[in-house]
Structure 1
Amino acid sequence: MILRFAAIALVLLVPAASSAQIPEPAQQTEAPPEPSTEMRFQAWLSDFRARAAGEGISAATIASALDRLTYSARVVSLDRAQPDDSRPQSVPLFSDYLAARLVPARINPGKRLASELSPTLRAVEARYGVPPEIMLGIWGMETSYGGYTGNFDLVRSLASLAFDGRREALFTRELIAALRMIDSGVPRSRLVGSWAGATGNPQFLPSSYLTHAVDFDGDGTADIWQSRADTAASIANYLKNNGWVTGGDWAMRVSVPAALDRMRVVNTIEPKSCTRVLAKHSRWIPVKEWRELGLQPLDGRTWPADDTLATLVEPDGPGKGAYLSYGNFRALLAYNCSNFYALSVGLLADQLRTGS
C-alpha cells in the first residue's frame, strides 16, 4: 500500500509534457496475407498476355481465350499424380498393361473401321507410306477411334500447368501454340481434350497440330475432331515426319536363349532423348547376328533382310517376353515415349492387319 501511494505522488510531481514530446506508440505491423492461388494465377496470366502479344498472337484471340480464365487445381493434381517410372514399384508389368488394352472392345471396332475406311486408308498410305493398321493402332490406343477424346478445356489446362511450373517451358510453349490454332481459324470451342492438353482423335498437343495436322479431305480445314480422313492422314504424317520408313516393319516377338550374355549386346551409348525408355534397348545389331545368337521369331513371323538393324527390348526383364524392334519402332516412340505404348500400338496393329 505504501509503495502504491508513493508511486501516485511521484506521478503528480512530474510536470505534464506537451503532446509533441510524447512518442507515438510503435505500430504493430502484420505480414500481408498470402495471396490465394487464384490471385497468383491471375497475376501470372497478366504477364502471359504480354508475352502472347509479343509472340504475335492477335488481341482478339488473347481476349477470347484468356478473358475470365481461371486456375484448375484438378488439372495440376492430375499432373502431379502421374507415376514416376524411376521408382520400379510404380511401373506395372507390360503383360498387365497389354491385357487391359488389347481387348475385343478395341480390336473389333478397329477391324470394322479398317473395312469402312479402306479406300481412304489406302490413299493415305500411298501418300505417307504408313500402313492402315498402324494408323488405326494409334487411333485406337489414343481415343478408342474417337470414342473418348477428353472434356477438359485445353487453354485452361495448359495455362494452369504452365503457371504451376513443374514443366513450365513445355506447357507455356503449348499454350502459345493453342492460341496460334485459334488465330489460324480453329474455333475456341474445339480446344477440348485431355487434362494434359492433347486434343482430337489422335490426341495431338497444339504444337503437333500446327506441325502435322493434314486437310486430307480437301475441305480447307485440318479437322482432327470430326474428319476421319484428316485424322488418319494426320497420324500418318506425324509418323512420316518422325522417321517412319515405307515398307519397313515395327518389331516382332522373339524367343531368347536362356544362355544369352546380355552384356554382349548392351548399349553403351547414352540416348539423347527418351532416355529412360531407350536405356532398356540393346545396341543396334544386324538381324543376321541376332540369328547367330540364337533368337527365334514367334507368332509366325519371319526374319527380315540380314542387314536390318534391330534392338532387343525385354519390357518386363529377361525371360519375360522379348521383341526385336526396328527403325519404325522409334517413330512410334516419337508419338509417345513409352515402350509399353509403342509395343501396344504395334500389337494392336497386328490384330487389325487385313486378313489377320
Structure 2
Amino acid sequence: RPHRRRRRAQGVFTQTFVQFSNRMISAYRLKQGAANMKKYADVFARADQQFGVQAPVITAFWALETDFGAVQGDFHTLSALVTLSHDCRRPQLFRQQLVPLLELIDRGVLPADVTGAWAGEIGQTQILPSDYLARGVDGDGDGKIDLRNSVPDVIMTTGNKVLSRGWKRDEPWIQEVRVPDEMPWDQTGRTNKLPLTQWAQWGVTNPDGSPLVDKGLQAGLALPMGRKGPAFLTYENFDVYLE
C-alpha cells in the first residue's frame, strides 16, 4: 500500500544535517513565513499570550509540515489509519488515533472522506486526530475548528499542541555556539543537560566568540556532524520538537 511504502522509504535520514537544513529552510519558506507572521500578527500575539509559544515556532511547524497549507496530503485518513493499525511494526500508535477520528467524523467536525498525510495527520500543521479532538481551538470565533482552511484555528491549535507537549514559556529552545578544539566530548549530546556555566567553563562560546550569557538554564550540546561541524545548545524546549 502507498502509505506503508512511504513510511519505509523516508530518504531524509540519509542526508547530512547541512543538506537537510538547506533543503528545509528554503528562500520561499523564509519569505512566506515572514509575510504570514506579519499578516496574522494579531492571531500570533494571542497564541503567544495564551500559550507562551512564539510566532516563529508556530510558523516553522506550518512551513515544514505543509508549506503553509499548500500540501496537506491526499491520503484517505480513515483508510490509512485502519491499514496502519494492522501493520506489524507500530500498530498501537495508529490504533489510538482511530476512535478520535471517528468521533470527529461523528460530530461533523470532519467529513468521512477527509484526506491528509499517509500516517493520519490532518490540516495545515499536520495534527493527529487525538490532538485535533483534545487541543483544537476555534481561533476565528466561527464556532468551528477547521484546521484545513482556517489559519487562525491552525495557529491557535498549534500553539496549544506545542504547550501540551511541555513547552516552557519565555525559554529558548536552541542556540548555535562555537566549540573549542578540545573539551570533554563524552559530555556532549542532546540529552545530557548541563548548566551554561559548565559549557562556558569548557570553552563553548557564542558563534562570534563572545561568552555565553548565563540564563540559569541547562542545555545539552548537539553536534549533528561531529566536533568539526555545526554545534548547538539544546534546551528543554528543544525536546518538545521530538514529541
| Alignment TM class, shorter chain as reference | over 0.9
* Aligned residue number for residue 316 of structure 1: 225
Q: Distance in 2 between matches of 1:115 and 1:256?
A: 35
- TM-aligned CA distance change 1:217 to 1:99, over 3 Å: same
Change (3 A) 1:303 1:212: farther
1:190 and 1:319 map into 2 onto residues whose CA distance is 50
Alignment of 1:138-177 (within 5 A): 138-177=61-100
Between Structure 1 and Structure 2, whose CA radius of gyration is higher?
A: 1
TM-score with structure 2 length normalisation? 0.93
Q: 2:19 aligns with which of 96, 99, 110?
A: 96
- 2:85 match: secondary structure: helix
Asked whether the 8 Å contact 2:220–2:233 carries over to 1, the reply is yes
Aligned length: 243
Q: Answer whether contact 1:253 1:299 (CA < 8 A) is retained.
A: no
**3-state SS of the aligned residue for 1:284?**
strand
**In structure 2, the residue corresponding to 1:297 is in which secondary structure?**
coil
Give the counterpart of 2:7 among 75, 79, 88. 79
Q: Does 1:111 align with 2:34?
A: yes
Q: CA RMSD in A?
A: 2.0
| TM-score, normalised by the number of residues in structure 1 | 0.64
CA distance in 1, matches of 2:67, 2:209: 27
**1:1-356 map, 5 Å:** 73-82=1-10, 91-189=14-112, 191-263=114-186, 265=187, 280-298=189-207, 303-334=212-243
Look up the SS of the partner of 2:233 in the other structure: strand
Is the 1:222–1:230 contact (alpha carbons within 8 Å) kept by the matching residues of 2? Answer: yes
Cα distance in 1 for partners of 2:210, 2:239 equals: 20
Q: Which amino acid aligns with 1:233?
A: M
2:237 maps to amino acid: N
User: Matches of 1:161 and 1:290 in 2, distance apart?
Assistant: 44
Unaligned runs of 5+ in 1: 1-72, 267-279, 335-356
Distance 1:299 1:175 in 2: 50
Indicate the SS of the match to 1:249: coil
**3-state SS of paired residue (2:219):** strand
The amino acid across from 2:38 in the alignment is S
Assess, with a 3 A threshold, how the Cα gap between structure 1 residues 183 and 329 changes in structure 2: closer, same or farther: same
Q: CA deviation at 1:176?
A: 2.1
Structure 2 counterpart of 1:203, which letter? Q
2-side partners of 1:191 and 1:170: how far apart?
Answer: 20
CA contact (8 A) 2:174 2:234 kept: yes
In 2, the alpha carbon distance for the partners of 1:102 and 1:192 equals 26
**5+ unaligned residues in a row in structure 2: which ranges?**
none
Q: What is the CA–CA distance in structure 2 between the aligned matches of 1:329 and 1:102, rounded to whole Å? A: 18
**One-letter identity of the residue aligned with 1:119:** D
2: distance between equivalents of 1:231 and 1:146? 10
How far residue 196 of structure 1 moved from its aligned partner, in angstroms, is: 1.2
- Structure 1: 4+ residue segments shifted above 4 A: 299-302
More helix per residue: 1 or 2?
1
